[in-house]
Amino acid sequence: MSESKGYLDMELLRFTTAGSVDDGKSTLIGRLLYDSKAIFEDQIQNLQEVNEQRGEEGINLALLTDGLRSEREQGITIDVAYRYFATPKRKFIIADTPGHIQYTRNMVTGASTANLALLLIDARHGVIEQTKRHAFIASLLQIPHVAVCVNKMDLVDFSKDEFEKIKSDFKKFASKLEIKDVNFIPISALKGDNVVDRSKNMDWYEGSTLIHLLENIHIGSDLNHVDCRFPVQRVIRPQSKNYPDYRGYAGRIEGGVFKTGDEILTLPSGKKSTIKSIDTFNGEINEAFSPMSVCITLNDNIDISRGDMLVRTNNQPQISQDIEVMICWMNERKLIPKGKYTIRHTSQTTRCIIKEIKYKIDINSLHRMEQENELSMNDIGRISIKTTKPLFFDSYRRNRNTGSIILVNEATNETVGAGMII
Amino acid sequence: MNSYNLTHLKVLESEAIFIIREVAAQFEKPVMLFSGGKDSIIMFHLARKAFYPDKIPFPLMHIDTGHNFPETINFRNKLIEETGENLIIKLVQESIDNGTAIEETGLNPSRNGLQTVTLLEGIEGGNYDCALGGARRDEEKARAKERFFSHRDEFGQWDPKNQRPELWNLFNGKKNQGEHFRVFPISNWTEMDVWQYILDEKIEIPSLYFAHKRHVVNRDGVLLSKCEHISLKNNEEWQEKTVRCRTIGDMTCTGVSESRASTMEEIIEEVATTRVTERGGRADDKRSEAAMEDRKKEGYF
């Protein structure tokens, strides 16, 4: 019973992994899963059979993460794969994204919900263009923590000098970015050094192992608990015998802390009221904070529907139809200047027109290319848009939930762009 | 300042409720698939939470193969009676009678594959534009690549290489006429999370999940339960063993495992120490290396 109680106290950490094809990323994930006993006997047996068919010896941990047939055949990861493991302290969700240049969109996808980015560097090659690209995306997506794993230390004789050089190269480049919390760890994913068990080959390293870092890094401040934001997802009106006049607003707290009795302002109407109750299936609660899903009732009858937002009177989001966005383009059809798209933001759906492409970013040099007037698949650039009705938003830097948008192509219905409001 | 931290189960619960509410908001006519197994019982529980104090604003649909454990059906009927929610039952037998599905032959003919036919007929016949399912990404490697909002073409097919990117909490359920979505709110849950949640929330589950005596036959390492749909080979015989189900599907393809776990705590203890995956006992997954990927492409759950 004590064990199951302990499990109920665990926190959740989401991290994304980035690295190029040969950095040993899949091996590292395989190692984390294997050493934390998240891999089962039938999976290992299955891997052995596959390896035998392919004429390989031993177990290829990389095959654990490549789920689709074509991935196994080509030995590459095509899509974001989600993996799970747990230690007694935390449950982990890994968004494993492919590292090839054409798959920026997958990295952005994996990064969008991550608390931490795990960047892999091959100790023999040091900081290469791809490392810079990954670091840039981690910074752009405002991932709160970055763990730089210098892998294959066994192939550079576990050299402290090599590690320190890579560390200083990375820091030099990262100084141009907004990365708040960086940790460097020398590892060998293949041999297991400093992954779960401390390395016997690198006495000079006094920092924590990767798993220790993942278990202990402080994630309590990753969400915004200051600016109260409650986008209404749905109006709950049972009109039943027990609840004839009940009118509640269902949604998830996307920022701040809401308490019973708080004065709130509803957007876009601007009408004020106070919180009568915060209801859940398990009973009424006194306060709710991000990322809780609740149902809020008010003391006044106000016309509120999906897409509206409850906020505090003295702390309002920006309200505008003209919005500046850093966009990552995710579709084979290029962004159309002056084109019209459906835009989704919190629980709002509306339309927008692309007014201007301000610049495109060369993600290797971080240079702004202001002459560029098109954005293709995997390009990142700054655009300005105008929406058909006002959005209630914060800058992405301040709140990832109220500062992010997606664009949808109205003819194909595909999600074509992922944007961060500036 | 207080520390505003939620446990991982609360985070997963909130995520699932958020997604179920998005489905109700974004689709005209959703339906929730229900099998009577623990994952769909959790989904049902989460859906009730999502709309409380209102009822669930869409029906449940059970694709009934006719090969269920009787305990599952009894549990299903009791749950619906107690909660007063709306359940639609679609029979695989009807698809067979209509000639749209053809029964397998052999020693343990499985209706697992046939479910896809009845499921797609059920979705099309009811004009449902979204089917909520309880699949989890940790179950199987092809499922690890699945989105929360998974687009299906007008044939109900999944195209794994051409999935829509899914970012932040912004879900795109736009589609053309005739197409539909499968939505998986508990994608991020593991088997352990599910059991812990059942314990934490005191959710009732069918008795099959707890250790009980049963006649079984060991076929290719899978313990199959005695029932009218399974015939014995010459050298086989029924043996009584103390077993329980880790996963519930058809009697013809659900392997039971020997176990003495008779309380939730004991089950959790067992799950924590077991070294075989949940679907390791599913004969339907053992048919080939990419069995699940292939079935999913055709429109399986």
Region A271-278 average pLDDT = 98
**How much is the pTM?**
0.91
Inter-chain contacts counted by CB atoms under 8 A, chains A and B: 195
B155 CA: distance to closest CA in chain A (Å): 17
Contact B54 A223 (CB under 8 A): no
A81 CA: distance to closest CA in chain B (Å): 5
Q: Would you tell me how many other CB atoms lie within 10 Å of the CB of residue B239?
A: 12
Contact A50 B289 (CB under 8 A): yes
Task: Name the residue among B24, B143, B170 with its Cβ closest to that of A404.
Answer: B170
Transcribe A247-259 into DSSP letters.
Answer: -EEEEE--BSEEE
Contact B276 A42 (CB under 8 A): yes
3-class secondary-structure state, position A137: helix
Task: Please tell me the distance from the alpha carbon of residue B67 to that of residue B86, in angstroms, as a whole number.
Answer: 22
Which pLDDT score, from 0 to 100, does residue B253 have?
Answer: 81
Region B1-30 average pLDDT = 91
Task: Name the residue among B145, B175, B274 with its Cβ closest to that of A413.
Answer: B175
Q: Is the pLDDT of residue A7 over 70?
A: no
Contact B280 A40 (CB under 8 A): yes
pLDDT in tens, A26-77: 788 888 887 777 666 666 666 667 666 666 555 565 666 555 565 555 555 5
Percent of chain B with pLDDT over 90: 50
Contact B174 A251 (CB under 8 A): no
CA distances from B241 to A62, A89, B235, B273 (A): 39, 37, 18, 21
Percent of chain A with pLDDT over 70: 86
3-class secondary-structure state, position A215: helix
Task: Name the residue among B51, B160, B192 with its Cβ closest to that of A236.
Answer: B51
The DSSP secondary-structure symbol of A411 reads T
B199 CA: distance to closest CA in chain A (Å): 9
Give yes or no for a contact between A341 and A407, defined as CB atoms under 8 angstroms apart: yes
**C-alpha B274: how far from its chain's center?**
21
B274 CA: distance to closest CA in chain A (Å): 8
The DSSP secondary-structure symbol of A63 reads G
What does the longest C-alpha to C-alpha distance in chain B come to? 71
Q: Which residue has tokens 């401040």?
A: A221
Task: Please tell me the distance from the alpha carbon of residue A138 to that of residue B224, in angstroms, as a whole number.
Answer: 49
Give yes or no for a contact between A378 and A413, defined as CB atoms under 8 angstroms apart: no
Task: Name the residue among A68, A234, A280 with its Cβ closest to that of B293.
Answer: A68
Contact B277 A306 (CB under 8 A): no
pLDDT in tens, A138-196: 999 999 999 999 999 999 999 999 999 999 999 999 998 988 899 999 999 888 899 98
Task: Name the residue among A42, A347, A404 with its Cβ closest to that of B277.
Answer: A42
Cβ neighbours of A291 in B, within 8 Å: 6, 11, 14-15
List the one residue out of A137, A146, A130 whose CA is nearest residue A185: A146
Task: Name the residue among B49, B168, B174 with its Cβ closest to that of A113.
Answer: B168
B228 CA: distance to closest CA in chain A (Å): 29
B165 CA: distance to closest CA in chain A (Å): 6
pLDDT in tens, B21-72: 999 999 999 999 999 999 999 999 999 999 999 999 999 999 988 888 899 9
Cβ neighbours of A305 in B, within 8 Å: none
Task: Name the residue among A79, A252, A281 with its Cβ closest to that of B163.
Answer: A79
Contact B289 A408 (CB under 8 A): no
Average pLDDT, chain B: 87
CB proximity list for B181: less than 8 A, separation 6 or greater: B27, B129, B130, B131, B149, B150, B151, B152, B173, B175
Contact A7 B196 (CB under 8 A): yes
pLDDT in tens, B186-245: 999 998 899 999 999 999 999 999 999 999 998 888 888 888 888 888 888 899 999 999
3-state per-residue secondary structure call for chain B: CCCCCCCHHHHHHHHHHHHHHHHHHHCCCEEEECCCCHHHHHHHHHHHHHHCCCCCCCCEEEEECCCCCHHHHHHHHHHHHHHCCCEEEEEHHHHHHCCCCCCCCCCCCCCCCHHHHHHHHHHHHCCCCEEECCCCCCCCCCHHHCCCEEEECCCCCCCHHHCCCCECCECCCCCCCCCEEEECCCCCCCHHHHHHHHHHHCCCCCHHHCCEEEEEEEECCEEEECCCCCCCCCCCCCEEEEEECCCCCCCCCECEEECCCCCHHHHHHHHHHCCCCHHHHECCHHHCCCHHHHHHHHCCC
Region B96-119 average pLDDT = 81
Give the chain B residue nearest A141 (alpha carbons).
B168
Cβ neighbours of B160 in A, within 8 Å: 68, 79
Q: Would you tell me how many other CB atoms lie within 10 Å of the CB of residue A243?
A: 15
Cβ neighbours of A66 in B, within 8 Å: 141
| A291 preceded by a cis bond (ω within 30 of 0) | yes
Burial label, A71 (beta-carbon count in 10 A; 0-12, 13-18, 19+): buried
